[in-house]
Amino acid sequence: MPIPIQIGDIIETKKQHPCGAKKFIIMRTGMDFRMQCSGCQKQIWIERAKLEKRIKRITRNGENVEF
């Protein structure tokens, strides 16, 4: 089952971005995801499979999303 990730979700990853931030905002979903780093504002394209492996926590409207 794919993890139900939606635009606007805040993803916390196991591995931090080079800038030190661990939270990313989902900008676009599909085969690949585009997300923006909460630290340096850089936007990253990432494959779903890769992203799913890195997810530690998903927050939507301030609440944790179970996955």
- Which residues contact Zn ion by CB under 5 A? 17, 19, 21, 37, 39-40
Instruction: Output phi, psi for 48, to 5 deg.
Output: -55, -45
Q: Which is nearer to Zn ion, 4 or 44 (CB)?
A: 44
Q: Which is nearer to Zn ion, 5 or 37 (CB)?
A: 37
What's the closest the beta carbon of residue 36 comes to Zn ion, in angstroms? 9
SS3 content of the chain, % helix, strand, coil (to 5): 10, 45, 45
Q: Which is nearer to Zn ion, 39 or 54 (CB)?
A: 39
